[in-house]
Each structure stands twice: as C-alpha cells, then as structure tokens.
A and B are shown apart, each in its own frame.
Chain A
Amino acid sequence: DTAVSQTPKYLVTQMGNDKSIKCEQNLGHDTMYWYKQDSKKFLKIMFSYNNKELIINETVPNRFSPKSPDKAHLNLHINSLELGDSAVYFCASSSIAGGQETQYFGPGTRLLVL
C-alpha cells in the first residue's frame, strides 16, 4: 500500500498555464507538507498544514496556493507558471508516536515549464 501518493508523476506545460498537483496520505497523519527540490537537489519547505490548517507558509510567490479538503489530502495549485517553477515537488506527512517524529515523502512530481 502506498503511504503518500502524488499525481501526476510528470508534468510538462507551457509558461503561463495553471496546473495542480494532488497528494494523498493513508497513514492517518495530522500534518502534511509541500517541498520543492531544485536542480541542485536542495529540499526546501513551501507549506505545512496541520489538521487542514495552514501552519507554515514560506516565502513563495502567491501564485502557489495549497488546499487541504480534508486531513488526508493536500493539493498544490500553481497559477501563471514560470520557467523558474521547474523542479521536483514533494508532498510529505508526519506524525509523532512514542515521542518519535517520522516523516514520509511521496514519490515526487517532476514539473517542467517550457
């Protein structure tokens, strides 16, 4: 069973288009995240939601808008795509059990803006 899933896996689109990436976790975790990994493989957090509420909103353009319809889903909508948005976007979820925090990542969505 896939713990954290994302769709689509690949996304190739033209500059100026609007696109969405979907994420679902079946782990029952309360907290979900969106990360961006650039060409140098550096992972940077974009957003974090806890129980459908936004708790971290990093300095990202307001063209990026996360939406959490329920605890198991966190989608990312991107308006007016730019060349610099090309990257791999990872969804993740985390929990704390027995005092130990663990974080699980999805397989990533590879976005290429032409």
Chain B
Amino acid sequence: EDQVTQSPEALRLQEGESSSLNCSYTVSGLRGLFWYRQDPGKGPEFLFTLYSAGEEKEKERLKATLTKKESFLHITAPKPEDSATYLCAVRGYSSASKIIFGSGTRLSIRP
C-alpha cells in the first residue's frame, strides 16, 4: 500500500536558520511527488512536482529534492512569513490516480 511519512511533525527555527523537512514514501511506481504549503484556515497551495530521482526544483527560499525513497524540502535563510504547514503527497501507478498525503510538518520561524 502506498504510504507517505513526514518528519519532523513540528519544527521551530530562528529567522535565517536554514533546515530541511523530510518526506519518506513507499509507492509502487512513482508518478509524481508533490509539495504544498498550507496556511491556517486556507487550502493547500501548490509548490512543486518532482518525478524522478535526482530532480531538484527551486522557488525563492525553497528547494525540493527527490531520491528513490524520500524527498527533502530545504529552506534557506527562512523568514517569519515562511511559517506554515508543509504537506508532501505522492501519486503512484498502482493507486489508480489517487494522491496520498502525509500528515505535514508545522514550520514556525521566530523573528
């Protein structure tokens, strides 16, 4: 069964303190790995889609990387406005078009 596990559950950083969020996945043939940002009381906001091991994508202070078993979301010199829950999801070939989400990492950046 396809599965997504995110760690840590919560992360508190000082402004400017770089770190990484982890997304481990088990899937029978990866069709895509997705990262989203969700602010309190709002819907998830799409960030990246990754398809193959070695692929990297960047957007402002965020960089997503992918291996055959996990993905990392690297946050460089974060600002308080980067505080949010970051969600990882996968779509596998065996899951009939279903996107499976992890439980998210709550990121808090202190000024």
**8 Å CB contacts to A: which residues of B34-59?**
34, 36, 38, 41-46, 49, 51
Q: Is A45 an interface residue (CB 8 A)?
A: yes
- Which stretch, A12-20, A62-70, A97-105, touches the partner chain B? A97-105
CA distance A56 to B96 in the complex (A): 7
Interface pair A100/B49, CB less than 8 Å apart: yes
Interface pair A105/B49, CB less than 8 Å apart: no
Which A residues lie within 8 Å of B78 (CB)?
none
**8 Å CB contacts to B: which residues of A57-113?**
58, 90, 92, 99-108
Considering the complex, give the chain B residue whose CB is closest to the CB of A4: B43
User: What's the minimum C-beta distance from A58 to chain B, rounded to whole angstroms?
Assistant: 8
Q: Is B22 an interface residue (CB 8 A)?
A: no
Number of interface residues of A (CB under 8 A): 24
Q: Which of B49, B85, B99 counts the most A-chain CB atoms under 10 A from its CB?
A: B99
Q: Is B92 an interface residue (CB 8 A)?
A: no
- Partner of A42 from the list B42, B97, B103 (CB cut-off 8 Å) is B103
A108 and B42 in contact, given A42-B101, A48-B98 (Cβ under 8 angstroms): yes
Q: Is A43 an interface residue (CB 8 A)?
A: yes
A48 and B49 in contact, given A43-B44, A105-B44 (Cβ under 8 angstroms): no
Judged by DSSP, the binding face of A is strand
- Partner of A102 from the list B49, B85, B103, B104 (CB cut-off 8 Å) is B49
- Partner of A48 from the list B51, B87, B97, B104 (CB cut-off 8 Å) is B97
Interface pair B43/A106, CB less than 8 Å apart: yes
Interface pair B97/A55, CB less than 8 Å apart: yes
Chain B 12-43 interface mask (CB, 8 Å, partner A; 1/0):
00000000000000000000101010100111
Interface pair A107/B97, CB less than 8 Å apart: no
Which A residues lie within 8 Å of B36 (CB)?
105
Residues of A at under 8 Å CB distance from B? Answer: 4, 33, 40-45, 48, 55-56, 58, 90, 92, 99-108
Given A42-B101, A101-B32, 11 more A-B residue pairs with CB atoms under 8 Å apart are A41-B38, A43-B44, A43-B87, A45-B100, A48-B98, A56-B97, A56-B98, A90-B43, A102-B49, A105-B46, A107-B42
